[in-house]
Structure formats: structure tokens, C-alpha cells
A and B are shown apart, each in its own frame.
Chain A
Amino acid sequence: MNKKILIADDEQNIVISIEFLLRREGFEVLVAGDGEEALAKVRGERPDLVLLDVMMPKMNGFDVCQALRADPDLAGTRILMLTAKGRDTEVSKGLGLGADGYMTKPFSTKELLAEVRKLLGM
């Protein structure tokens, strides 16, 4: 069965590339444009991995991460945070809130793929 990945990012231009990349690798890809949509899609679609951008409208990535981790049903969902800030404090905040990995933009697509595979245990 194909692994399901949710991309939660409001930056359409990065979503295009990641979506293309992951589909090419054979994943099933879902896209959410803001935090609330992301949360709803995780609950509805139960993806295996969420690529979570920090800066999003309505609900930021940290809040989404916290909400996901507060739900025991979703404990198996892996979270990889993507951020355009990259301050050390943010990285530790994301990991502290329960994210499984953290990548700072700009990242190479190879690294992203490697990290995705690692988190999915592939």
C-alpha cells in the first residue's frame, strides 16, 4: 500500500515542486493550504506523514503540531516541519512540540526525500 503524505504549506510555488517530487516517487499526496485545513485533512485522511510549514494562515505549524500530538489516535502520524526561519530556537521548539524532523528552506529535494523515507521507515 502506498504511503500517504500531506503537504501543509500556503506557498503554492514550493508545493508544486514537492507534490511533483513525491508523486514521482510513488507516494499518495494530499495538499492543505492553511493550518485548519491541514488539521482537518489529517483527521479525515489519516496520512502517514505530514510536511508541515511553520508560517501558515489561520493556524501556524506549531499549533497544528501541538494539536496533532494531543490526539492519541494520531500518535502514529509522523511530522516533518518545514520552515523559512531556521532559527535554532525554532528548531528546538518544533522538536519539543513533538515534530519528528525539521528542515529549513531552502533544502535540496534529495535531502527531503531521504528524510521522508527515513521517517516512514523505508
Chain B
Amino acid sequence: MAAPRKLILTVVAASLFTLVLVGATAALMLAGEPDASGVGRSAAERIVVLIVLLLLASACCCWVIVRLHDLYAASPLRMAEEVTAALAHSSLRVGDQGAAELRVLAQAVNQLLALREASENDVAERVREARASLEEERSRLAALMADLSQSVVVCNLDGRVLLYNQRARQELAAGADGGHGELLGLGRSIYTVFDRALITHALERLQQASRELGETENRQLLGSAQFVTATPAGRLLRAHMSPVLGGAGPHHAQVGGLSITGFVLVLEDVTSSNERHARRDALIQSLIEGGRGPLGSIRAAAEMLSEVADMPAQQRDRFLRVVHDEAAKLSAQFETAASAFSNDLRERWLLEEMRGAEVLIVAARRIGERRADERRALAVKTENVDEDLWLRVDGYGLFQALRYLAWRLQDEYAVREVRLSLTRSGQLAQLDLSWLGTFMNNETAMSWLQDPMSVAGDSSPLSVTDIVERCNGDIWFQRERVSHRAFFRTMLPIADAPTDLPRAVIAAAEGERPEFYDFDLFSWSAASHELDDRLLSELAFTVFDTETTGLQPTQGDEIIQIGATRIVNRRLLRHECFDQLVNPQCRLSPQSIEVHGITRELLVGQPTIDVVLPKFHAFCADTVLVGHNAAFDMRFLQLKEKQTGVRFEQPVLDTLLLSAVLHSNQTTHRLEAIAERLGVSVFGRHTALGDAIVTGEVFLKMLPLLAEMGIRTLRQAREASQKTFHARLRY
């Protein structure tokens, strides 16, 4: 409505203006016309007036046009600019100015922008939520994996390790000599641990199996392949291999539209169970086969005795002696087998190793639980607890038995407080449940121990004695008249403290992924040999340092410590480190001891360099070496090539040289100085591992700075290093 009225008003105003102008001109002309009296203005005068009038009119027009231009041409252009800016920053709004029409348009545009911002926020929020839940799932997965009693390793198709759990690390870490050599690590090749052919074969079996499934079922999850192999330490592992399927993978691994992008290995140590099975088989075998001979003799002799009536006494005695001898032989065989078997028999119950002190704490808690039908809980105290004792018990059953006895004491003898103690008694552990005051006679106590347990609605077909015997122990009732104390005493065999206690999960720092897995590695390619043109940011590095007896490798100085850590996908993996002292088999100079603090005593019993270097070589397989002043360390390694038979042919980067590339005007490129320059905090210097970690941090800080200089690939980094002055240093 407003627009047509405005149009009409404008047309009317323009017409009126023209009319007034024409009218004024005409009136001027008429008024100035010289009349009869001769009064009038000359033509020149009139023209002047006319011109003035026209000038006035055009000025008026100009003013109107400028105003209109501002309203209808400049304002939309300004608005267009504002809209363009708002395209990039969704929080901006268009200004509320210009003509009324434009203001309407601006409001509409602003509404649109507001909608867009809201939806952008919404998307961002969803992304955040999705990421949070993903992160949560990852942590859950990490926790789950850490908790598994089996070892889990996930690899991509090239055999690169993408994920593993603590258990796998423990199981695969021990070397053949029981030494500590890390073989497992993110991005490392699983083939340093397992035979390549074994895994390739298992993968082929998986593909074969899925092909045979046919097209109709090809979307089903493939089964798993199994193989048994031995670790370097000689343990037997059974591996279950399941494929990881994905959309995009190499053509040769295609399976019914999906392709195998990697595999999961679940490893189980079967050394002991295999041994146990073998032992049991041998036992049964020896019983059966060992029994046949004596039985054959007895049977033949018995048949002779029973069937031949007219046997001379002497002959009869011979047969009787045969029966006697062979029966004795059989008995002895049975005894041997029985005692051998009883060890295995124990394994049938789920006996678990528990720390004695923990058994007592849990038992006390169970006994002290408030019962529904009792006003007050029974008080429990623990005393004389031997903290070092380990027991091998059926924990659940034992707690049940102790609680049954304690509660029955409360019910039937109004006992208010019981005590639990655990002490060592020779080769056995002595667990006492004792109380003061009233006590029963021996017969009652005996029946308590031998009747099925039933107290407060909680009943079991087993008796206390059953449970204790199951733990290979014995229990009895005893009293001390002098102290008015009575107790149920349980003797239990002492177990060895288990060696593979579950370790605590190492929580990742805020905003940092746990270092044990890195799914981004799935995108790694097989072409790791052409490292030169790979981006530095995607290479795996082993950052290392050595401590030595001195600075002259050619004059008999030796390595006494090697420390290394790894960088994968631009993350320093502190958990995957190599830290090994080396027995140099030569004298340590006092000056060098001052530097590294490693004394003669520390090196006693440490492996020598020909044991350590092959392990270190395996640790840095398939990675680029990084060291500070690496030439120095490399010289030591190279001098050992003949002796140890391992060659370090990996590409090497030197943070000292890279520092010179980055800051050519600085006078010093010592590690501390560089660290300070790049804002890396230094601690634990002059241990090989400490220095390696600092070097790693420094190297990580250098990567973006190098990238700014256009140094992105390994080749570029090496070429730049060579150009610097320090590259000409030779040891």
C-alpha cells in the first residue's frame, strides 16, 4: 500500500513542481512585458531573472536526486557489503538504516541470518556431543582393553599396530633371556613379534572362508582364524584373528563387497594349560599302559590257580608270589599317579591367588554386614595380620564359611565380637576366627563344621569342611582355657605372590588421547620404503640418546645406556620407551660418572652391547631416527656393527642441525638452549631416556616451524640439514 501511495505522491510532487516552474516563468514573462506606458523590464533583465529562477530550480532538483540516490542506491550497496560480511561471520547483522523499504529488507535479511546462526550453533553442538560420546567410547574401550585378561592387538593390513592393551605389552615384552625389550608399539610392525607368513596365511584363510559363504551371506561378520605360535621368550600363544572390515581397502583383500582393512589378534597364553593337559594325558596313559603288564600277569596266574586243581604246592606258591608281586607293583603305580593327579585336581576349582590381608578385610566386611533379623551387626576386628602372605583359595566359599561360623556364634552363643587373625606357621598360613567367653563343646563344633551351611536364610549344600578342603586346607575347633578364648583355626597352603598383577590403567591427560592406541594410523600405506618424499608429520620416529664412558668412540669409549622413545602421528609416546643400561666391560672414568651419574655398581649384571643393540635395532625398525647431535651417537652404533651384526640404516635427523636450520643466527645449539628457545621444560637430563624425551619434545616443536620454511618432507629436512655448517662436523 505504501509503495503506490509514495509513487502517486512523487508523481504529483513532480507535476506540481513543473507546473509551479512553468507558471512562475510565464508570470515573470508576462509581468516583465513592457506595457503601453512603457513601464517594464528590458529583455536582458528578464533573461537574467529567468536564469536565476532556472538555477534555483535545478539546485532543487539536484538536492532531491542526491537524497534519492542516498536512499535508494547507496544504502542497498552498503547493505550488500554488510550481507557479504555476514556470510563469513554468522554473528554479524545488517544495519537498520536507509529508506523504509530497505529497512524492511534488512529486517528480513537479519531474520535469515539469525536462523542460519541458530542452525550453525545446533550443528556445532551436535558435533560436540558426537565427539564427546566418541571420546567416551574410546575411553571405555581403552579401559575394557586394559582390563582384559587376554592380550589384544589390532593391526592394519600392513601389520602396523593400531591398538594394543597392557596385557599384550607385558606378554610380548619379555625377551628370550627374560630381559626387557619392547617389541610392541603403535605404528610398529607386528611382524617383529610374529612370523609374517603365519599372519598372511591366517588372513588368506579368513578371505577364503568368507568367499565360500557365498554372495547371499556376504555381509555377515567373518569368523576368526586361529593359530598357535611361540613368543621370543618361548611362551606358547594361541591367537584368534578376526578381520576388521571396511568400505575402502586394497583390492586384493576384497570380501563380498567389503574389504579387510585390518585384523584383531586376541592372544592367550596356553603354555601352562598345554602343560597341564599334557601332564594329565601322560598320567592317564601311564596308568593305562603301566597297568596292563601287571594285570596280565595277575590274570594269567589267577586263571592257572583256579583252573588247575592238581597243581604241586611249589608251583602254586610261584603263582601266588606272582599275584602278590604284581599287585604290589600296581598299588605303587596307583599311588604315584594319585599324588601326581592331586596337584592337577586342585586346578579344577577356581582357586584364586589373594593377598592374605585382603582375604581378612573382605571376610571382616562380610561378617560385619547388618542382617535383616538382627538389631545390631556383629563386631569384627582383625589382628596379627601377616601382610606378606598370599593364599590360593576359593574366596567366595571361604568368606561364606567364615560368615556362617561367625553368625552362628552370634545366634546361638550371643557372641558380640569376633576376631580374625592371619599368621604364618611354617609352610602354612594360619587363619583364626576367635572369640571370648562362651564356647561350645567339641561335638557341637564338629557338627558346625560338617553340616551343610545354613544361616539367616542363606544355605548351601556344602559344609565348612568341604570348602576348606577344597582350598587344600584343614579346619578345627580349639580353645584356650587360660585366656577364655576359643577359635576355629584354618590352616591353608601359602601361595606364591603372583607375578603378573593387573596394572592400573594410566589415565590420559586432559584433552590428550591415551597413547596406547591411535586409529588414525589406519590410513597408513604400505609404501614405507620411500620415506624420503613422505611428510615429516606422518612419519614415525624413534628419538634416542646414549650415555657413554667418554667422547672418543674410536679410542675405546663405550655406550653405557641407551634411551629412546617414539613419535607417531606427531605424538610423543612416553609409554613406549626403551631404557637400558649396558655393561661396557671397561673402566668408567670419574669425569664421566659426574656427567651421567651411572656408577660401576649400577652396571653389574647388565647385558652387554651385543645383547642390547639387536633389541634396540628391533625397537627402531621402520622408523626414522632422531637424536640431538645424532652423528655422535650414530658413530658409536656404527662402530659396533661388526661386533653385533646389526646395521642402523634408517634415515637419521639431528635436532642440532635442524636448530641451525631454523635459527641460523643463534650461537649455541645445545639441547638446553634449544629447549628454552622453543619453550620445552627440561628435566631428567643426562639420563639417556630423559634426554631422548626432551629431544622428542623439541623435535615436535620444530616441525611446524620447519613447515613454515617450506621444509615438509624428510628429503627436504635432510637436505636443509646438510647445508648447515654443523653438518660438516665429523667425529
- Please report A residues at the B interface, Cβ cutoff 8 Å: 11, 13-14, 16-18, 20-21, 24, 83-86, 104-110
Contact = CB atoms under 8 A, between A and B. Distances in A.
Interface in B270-325: 289, 292-301, 303-304, 307-308, 315, 318-319, 322, 325
Given A13-B322, A17-B319, A106 B298 contact: yes
Nearest to B300: A17
Contacts of A13: 294, 297, 301, 322, 325-326
B289 A84 contact: yes
A21 B315 CA distance: 12
Contact of A16 (B295, B299, B308, B318): B318
Given A13-B297, A24-B308, A109-B303, A85 B292 contact: yes
B289 A18 contact: no
A10 to B, nearest CB: 10
Given A17-B319, A107-B299, 17 more contacts: A11-B293, A13-B301, A13-B326, A16-B301, A16-B318, A17-B303, A18-B300, A20-B304, A24-B308, A84-B293, A85-B289, A105-B296, A106-B295, A106-B298, A106-B300, A109-B303, A110-B303
29 contacts: A11-B293, A11-B297, A13-B294, A13-B322, A13-B325, A16-B318, A17-B300, A17-B301, A17-B322, A18-B300, A20-B308, A20-B319, A83-B292, A85-B289, A85-B292, A86-B289, A104-B292, A105-B295, A105-B296, A106-B297, A106-B298, A106-B299, A107-B296, A107-B299, A108-B299, A108-B303, A109-B299, A109-B303, A109-B304
Contacts of A104: 292
A102 B289 CA distance: 16
Interface of B: 289, 292-301, 303-304, 307-308, 315, 318-319, 322, 325-326
A16 B322 contact: yes
Contact of B293 (A16, A20, A105): A105
Nearest to A53: B293
Best-buried of B295, B304, B326 by chain A (most CB within 10 Å): B304
- Interface majority SS (helix, strand, loop, mixed), chain B: helix
A21 B311 CA distance: 12
B292 A106 contact: yes
A57 B296 CA distance: 19
Nearest to B323: A13
A16 B315 CA distance: 9
B293 A21 contact: no
A14 B293 contact: yes
Contacts of A84: 289, 292-293, 296
B290 to A, nearest CB: 8
A86 B292 CA distance: 9
Best-buried of B299, B300, B319 by chain A (most CB within 10 Å): B300
A7 B294 CA distance: 17
B574 to A, nearest CB: 57
Contacts of A85: 289, 292
Nearest to A24: B308
A106 B304 contact: no
A91 B326 CA distance: 25
Contact of B296 (A20, A21, A106, A110): A106
Contacts of A86: 289, 292
A7 B293 CA distance: 15
Nearest to B308: A24
A105 B296 CA distance: 5
Best-buried of A17, A107, A108 by chain B (most CB within 10 Å): A17
Nearest to B322: A13
A109 B326 CA distance: 17
Contacts of B300: 14, 17-18, 21, 106-107, 109
A14 to B, nearest CB: 4
Contacts of A16: 301, 318-319, 322
B297 A21 contact: no
A107 to B, nearest CB: 7
Given A13-B322, A84-B292, A86-B292, A20 B315 contact: yes
B296 A14 contact: yes
Contact of A21 (B289, B304, B325, B326): B304
A24 B308 CA distance: 10
Contacts of B293: 11, 14, 84, 105
Contacts of A21: 300, 304
A104 B299 CA distance: 12
Contacts of A106: 292, 295-300
Contacts of A17: 297, 300-301, 303-304, 319, 322
Leading 4 A-B pairs by shortest Cβ distance: A105-B296, A17-B300, A106-B296, A13-B297
Contacts of A11: 293, 297
B309 to A, nearest CB: 12
Best-buried of A83, A105, A107, A110 by chain B (most CB within 10 Å): A105
B356 to A, nearest CB: 47
Contacts of B319: 16-17, 20
Contacts of B299: 106-109
B332 to A, nearest CB: 15
Contacts of B315: 20
Nearest to B304: A17
Contact of A14 (B289, B297, B307, B308): B297
A6 B138 CA distance: 78
Best-buried of B293, B295, B318, B322 by chain A (most CB within 10 Å): B293
B225 to A, nearest CB: 30
